[in-house]
Amino acid sequence: MRVLLVEDDTALGAAIRDQIAADGHSVDWVTRLDRAGDALAAAGFDLILLDLMLPDGLGIPFLKTLRGRGDVTPVMILTALDQVSDRIAGLNAGADDYMIKPFDLAELSARIGSVARRYNGNPNPLITQGALTIDLAARSVMLNGRPVILTAREWVLFEAFLQRPCQLFSKAQLEERLYSFDTEIDSNAIEVHVSRLRKKLGAHVIETERGLGYRLGRA
């Protein structure tokens, strides 16, 4: 997933960024709401992690504005505001989850996975795709009952296809998934990773639409 983190506490922001990146997600970290707006205008995100007290404003009006213009990107609120009324306000504004600081980073990872699965129509972390059994929570793959080891980059791309099995991904969209791994992505990186996924998971696991992109096929 590509995640937008909106957090002005530099120590906490760095810890969250590192945790999410270690989970294999791409992270864009901003410390102000205006920069969050710029980031959303420039790129597509799968999840927003939103603090409520930012230097240039409050997170709740920002969230209401997002929802008011039809933006359905999942939003998790991360805040020190711990009153029941605060949680109700956040959820009523359109948040999908609400975590109170301080929180355990491992729990944050689990909740991110849970929100992502709900939005992709499959809250069950176990997926069967032909001869493949995929555990999204454990980030593991079995082929005919035998474990298959995927690199972090391979997993990120494969997860993108699993999340949207009917979507055709352009090369540029897939390159965005690798954003957190390299400042510069080789021009043939997607072709290389798709080829490796086919060798490990099956020749037809990813289909090519010539000149258009890639989509999930049959394992």
Assign residue 87 the CATH number of its domain. 3.40.50.2300
pLDDT confidence of residue 124 = 61
Domain that holds residue 136: 126-216
Give alpha helix (H) positions in 33-170. 33-42, 59-68, 84-92, 105-119, 152-163
Last residue of a domain, one of 89, 119, 149: 119
Number of domains in the chain: 2
Predicted pLDDT of residue 185:
66
pTM above 0.85, yes or no: no
Determine the pLDDT at residue 195: 95
How far apart CA 33 and CA 50 sit, in angstroms, is 9
The residue type at 103: F
Round to whole Å and give the CA distance between 68 and 205.
38
In this structure, the answer to whether residues 115 and 134 fall within a common structural domain is no
The whole-chain average pLDDT of the chain stands at 88
> With contact defined as beta carbons under 8 Å apart, do 208 and 162 qualify?
no
pLDDT at site 213: 93
- Do both 138 and 104 map to the same domain? no
Residue 219's pLDDT is 61
Shared domain check, 77 and 164: no
Domain final residue, candidates 93, 119, 145: 119
Do residues 109 and 192 share a domain? Answer: no
Q: Return the beta strands (E) in the chain as ranges.
A: 2-6, 26-30, 47-50, 53-54, 57-58, 75-79, 97-100, 126-129, 132-135, 140-143, 146-148, 206-209, 213-216
Q: Report the alpha-carbon distance of residue 160 to residue 174 in Å, rounded.
A: 8
Indicate which CATH number applies to the domain containing 156: 1.10.10.10
> From the first residue on, what is the mean pLDDT of each consecutive set of 10 residues in the chain (219 residues)?
93 95 88 95 90 95 93 93 93 93 94 80 72 84 93 88 86 80 70 94 92 85
What Rg, from alpha-carbon coordinates, does the chain have?
Answer: 18
